[in-house]
Amino acid sequence: MCQNIRLAAIIAVFSLLWVGLAALLEPAEIQQLHQMLDTAGLDASSLCFEKDWDLSCKYKLDWQLRQLQNPWRAFEDLRELGDACQLEEPESVSDLLCKLGGIAFNLDGEHYKHIYPPAKTMYLEQLRLQVRKPADLFGWLELYLDPLVEDLDSAFAEFSPQERKDLTSFCLWHFVESEDAEFYENHCRQQGLPQFEELDQEAVRELGEKLDRRKLLRTGIRGLALSDAVMEHASGLNFSNKKPLIRKSRHGLMVIGTPGRDFYPLPGHEDEPICFLLDPAGDDSYRDGLVFSQDFSLLIDLAGNDHYELKRPASAFHSTFGVGFSYDLDGDDLYRTGDFSFSSFMGINLHQDKRGDDIYHSGLFSQGAAMFGVSALIDHSGNDSYQASVAAQGLGSTLGAGALIDLEGTDTYSLGGKYYHEPLMPLDFITLGQGMGLGMRPHLAGGLGLLYDGAGNDRYLGGVYAQGSGYWYATGALIDRSGNDVYNAVYYPQGSGIHLACGFLVDHEGDDAYYSRHGPGQGAGHDWALGIMFDGGGNDAYSIEGGNGLGLTNSVGIFVDRSGNDRYERQNPQAYGSANFVRSAGGIGLFLDAGGEDSYPDSLKANNETWQQGTYGIGRDIELNPVEKTAVEELAEAVPLPDENDSIEEIFAAAAEWEVGSAVQRVRKAREILLSRESEAIPYILENRLNTSSGLQYRALEALAQSSKAFRSELYKAIDLPDSLAAKNALSLIAGVGDSLLVEPVQRLLEQKKYEGTCISVLAGVNTARSVELLSAYIFHPSERFRYLAARSLKQITHPSARESLERMRKDRSFLVQSLLRSLPEDQAE
């Protein structure tokens, strides 16, 4: 009977994961994990032990619980989440909103995908019919915003005005750090919000139930359709107005700027809520005093290198009890925003920057942060820089999904610099971001925090909690598609689930470096939690105090590195597949390196070995995924080869490229062509390239000299050229092939005191007694330079007399000579 129950559990696990899992883990990798469990008397269902132990916690996400309870399901969820972030289709942003909203609100996001396409089609059709010039947008928007705002109001209809204030204050105070308490006390007084101590905490926590999540998501999708339609239609309008166009509407101020440089807020309209702002061009400036309507706002900047200097809390790219959409379509932009920017409380906020190398500098709870809502900061291209203090760059709290998505470019993500994490790490910064799910222990579960990067050699700098971390019934995920990336953190990083939470880091490819001063991380769970780290390929380096498949305190930690020659740096008993035994039960830690020649810090772990640590920690290194060609080798095959009919000048230029990485095959092909056309190549080289000072060009000459007797014959003639550099190169090239005939011209040059340094050096390549005799004339020379060069050449000559000459230099006072002599093998030194 027990065996039948276990078999049924295993079948149930397989039915949940098998189809989609192969997209992230290969079937052979899944099989290895199963076999590893079997070595400890476990099976696939063993990971699915009960982990939901706080039954009083509110607002748990179904999406997070299914991963926590069934870690196998996490791989499929991560695959789907990563696919949704690629944004390859016109409707992809809407689909992403459905995905994030479905997760945050415990809804099936698939059921909402049908809303966007017909809504956008209808809006575009009406815009084409009714909006011929920019000013027409005002009336059109006012008309179509009426039903949208009405539906939006119904999503919040159950909240009284005071309850809205209480909940806003509650959310705000849960992210404010103690250093800023006085500032936010004043802020709450100015905004008419209650102070933290005035709140009935238990009552406020219940208010979230009043949110109509279905209506909010539906209205948010329709708002995105309207905003996309207006943005696309406005891009085709002709803007010739020399002054801003302004209209006061029942939804707020509407503004259309000029094609030149504009400054917002417009004079006389400071602190006046704006529901629509469209700027057609120019390097514009957005400053404090620019305020957006609460229920709906739309900002579109079509072009220009713009400066957003909006430091007031919750004033920029933020939605509270409403929805907001913003677009910057082109330009190298600077976003300097304060706390609670690029964020949402009880709402939806999406910002898209389409092109340009942008800089984002924000305060706390920013750059894709959400609670009771959805927030996404989406940057489509460019080499961008992101910096924030804490709780940012993909932060999801209660019933929230916060995402930072960057699709292209070499980007830098930095968190910290302001708030220290006392008492745990009093000299380090708490960061809570870069894919961080954060609950409010013990009362409120967290949401989904996501950082997704599509391409580029990126750098991630975090502190305590960063880079795919979850805390208290929450999920944090960092997904990086490609590039040679660097990850640096301090504590609880890189696929770390803490206290009934899930933390995931997925890096699909690249030669990556992962560092954290402390763990647990890099695929670690602590306290009924789940942590997963997956690296899909590349030669990677890992350094962490404890992790890489660590199941602490009845948790599951899974680490998988698919392939590559990897380096595991730290020696720690809680690493590379480890778990402990507490509460009269164990945990599970799985470490799998599935390919490559890897290095480990101790003898227990080794290539092609399986090991066990703790209860139940299992590690395995196996050559499952041999790499036939590295990414650089594949790139080399794609590099165009020189054509045999190209000019000799072009062929030589290719032959003189750096023979490394992606250029290897191109360089070698060019050198083959030079040899096959030596009758043309030699005259060209003698006239134009023999006097080169370029090391790369010299290597091309060296390759030809090794294979062409005709070239070597011409080099002898070049020894007496008036061009000293050409003559020295000729000497060195001949010496490189070890031709003993070189001794005669070298002797003649030495007698003339000509090119002495070069002549002494090239004799190293001629292994004859005569070479030793010529060099011995310099072993007591007054010049340290000449003595050292002579000793170096003698060391390379294997003729017995060379050793005798070297021994005569034992009393030389030169450090260079002495260190050379001390490096000789004993048989040479005797």
Q: Which of 675, 685, 677 is closest to 730 using CA atoms?
A: 685
pLDDT at 768: 94
Whole-angstrom Cα distance, residue 202 to residue 197? 12
Do the Cβ atoms of 779 and 805 come closer than 8 Å?
Answer: yes
Euclidean distance between CA atoms 65 and 458, whole angstroms: 31
Do 649 and 688 reside in the same domain of the chain? yes
Do 389 and 419 contact (CB within 8 A), yes or no?
A: yes
User: Is residue 7 predicted with pLDDT exceeding 50?
Assistant: no
What is the full DSSP assignment across 499-533?
SS-EEEEEE-SS--EEEESS-SBSSEEESS-EEEE
Residue 15 has pLDDT above 50, yes or no: no
Question: Does one domain contain both 781 and 720?
Answer: no
Asked whether residue 197 is assigned to any structural domain, the reply reads yes
Question: What is the residue-wise DSSP string for 350-392?
Answer: EEEE-SS--EEE--SSBSSEEEEEEEEEEE-SS--EEEESSSB
Distant-in-sequence, close-in-space partners of 643: CB < 8 Å, separation ≥ 6: none
Q: Return the exposure string of 538-552: e unless at least 16 CB atoms fall within 10 Å of the residue's CB, then b.
A: bbbebbbebbbbbbb
Considering the domain boundaries, does residue 648 fall inside one? yes
What's the confidence (pLDDT) of residue 633? Answer: 77
Say whether pLDDT at 20 is over 50.
no
Cα separation, 495 vs 486, in Å, equals 15
- Give burial (CB, 10 Å; 0-12/13-18/19+) of 19: exposed
pLDDT above 80 for 19: no
User: Which of 678-687, 737-746, 812-821 shows the lowest per-residue confidence on average (mean pLDDT)?
Assistant: 737-746
Average pLDDT of the segment spanning 93-121: 99
Q: Are residues 753 and 693 in the same domain?
A: no
Q: What is the pLDDT, as a whole number, of residue 829?
A: 45
Three-state DSSP state, 617: strand
For the segment 473-490, what is each residue's pLDDT rounded down to a tens digit?
999 999 999 999 999 999
> β-strand 425-433 against 420-421: which pairing, if any?
antiparallel
The answer to whether position 759 is within a domain reads yes
Q: Is residue 446 part of a domain?
A: no
Radius of gyration of the chain (CA): 34
Indicate whether 2 pLDDT > 70.
no
pLDDT of residue 155: 98
Taking the C-alpha atoms of residue 691 and residue 706, their distance in angstroms, rounded to an integer, is: 18
Q: Can you tell me the mean pLDDT for 297-304?
A: 99
Domain that residue 199 falls in = 161-210
Pair (691, 755) in one structural domain? no
703 & 742 share domain: no
- Reduce the DSSP state of residue 349 to 3 states and report it: strand
Q: What is the pLDDT of residue 23?
A: 65
Instruction: Output the six-digit token pair for 772.
Output: 């030793």
Same domain, 755 and 696: no
CA–CA distance, 49 with 70 (Å, rounded to integer): 8
Predicted confidence band at 650 (pLDDT cuts at 50, 70, 90)?
very high
Instruction: Kindly state whether residues 746 and 828 are assigned to the same domain.
Output: yes
- The answer, yes or no, to whether residue 610 has pLDDT greater than 90, is yes
Last residue of a domain, one of 189, 210, 231: 210
Residue 792 lies in a domain: yes
SS3 619: strand
**pLDDT tens digits, residue range 767-811?**
999 999 999 999 999 999 999 999 999 999 999 999 999 999 999
Q: To the nearest whole number, what is the mean pLDDT of the chain?
A: 95
Task: Identify whether the C-beta of residue 677 lies closer than 8 Å to the C-beta of residue 704.
Answer: no
**CA-CA-CA-CA torsion sign (167, 171, 174, 178):** negative
pLDDT higher than threshold 90 for residue 662: no
Q: Give yes or no for a contact between 356 and 383, defined as CB atoms under 8 angstroms apart.
A: no
Share of the chain above pLDDT 90, in %: 93
Q: Reduced to 3 states, what is the DSSP secondary structure of residue 139? A: helix
443: Cβ contacts below 8 Å, ≥ 6 apart: 56, 57, 58, 205
Q: What are 136-146's pLDDT values in tens digits?
A: 999 999 999 99
Question: 690-721 burial by CB neighbour count: b if 16+ within 10 A, else e?
Answer: bbbeeeebbbbbebbbeebeebbebbbebbeb
pTM of the prediction?
0.90
Q: Which two tokens stand for residue 753?
A: 């005191």
What is the pLDDT at residue 632? 76
pLDDT at 661 over 90: no
| Beta-carbon count within 10 A of 230 CB | 24
CA distance 401 to 344: 9
What is the pLDDT at residue 675? 96
Average pLDDT score over residue span 603-624 = 96
Domain end among 689, 724, 759: 724
Is the C-alpha dihedral spanning 253, 258, 259, 263 positive or negative?
A: negative
Residues 288-308: what's their mean pLDDT? 98
Cis peptide before 515 (omega within 30 of 0): no
**pLDDT single digits (tens) 411-439:** 999 999 999 999 989 999 999 999 999 99
Mean pLDDT score, 624-642: 83
554-579 per-position pLDDT tens digit: 999 999 999 999 999 999 999 999 99
Question: What CATH code is carried by the domain that includes residue 749?
Answer: 1.25.10.10
Closest C-alpha among 408, 410, 414, 393 to residue 458: 410
Q: Are residues 761 and 783 in the same domain?
A: yes
Burial of 452 (0-12, 13-18, 19+ CB in 10 A): buried
Residues 657 and 717 in one domain: yes
3-state secondary structure 556-603: EEEEEECCCCCEECCCCCCECCEECCECCECCEEEEEECCCCCECCCC
pLDDT at 827: 65
Question: Quick one: pLDDT band at residue 629, thresholds 50, 70, 90?
Answer: confident
Q: With contact defined as beta carbons under 8 Å apart, do 391 and 418 qualify?
A: no
User: Residue range 497-520: average pLDDT?
Assistant: 98
- Structural domain count of the chain: 3
Per-residue pLDDT for 619 more than 80? yes
Flag whether pLDDT at 5 surpasses 50: no
> According to the model, what pLDDT value does residue 634 have?
79
Q: Tell me the mean pLDDT in the region 360-384.
A: 99
Question: What was the pLDDT predicted at 638?
Answer: 79
Q: What is the mean pLDDT of residues 264-292?
A: 98
Same domain, 782 and 829: yes
The verdict on residue 660 lying in a domain is yes
Q: Which run of H or of E encompasses 306?
A: none
* pLDDT for residue 6: 44
Asked whether residue 500 is assigned to any structural domain, the reply reads no
In a domain, 673, yes or no: yes
Q: How far is CA 495 from CA 368, 510, 675, in A?
A: 19, 18, 54
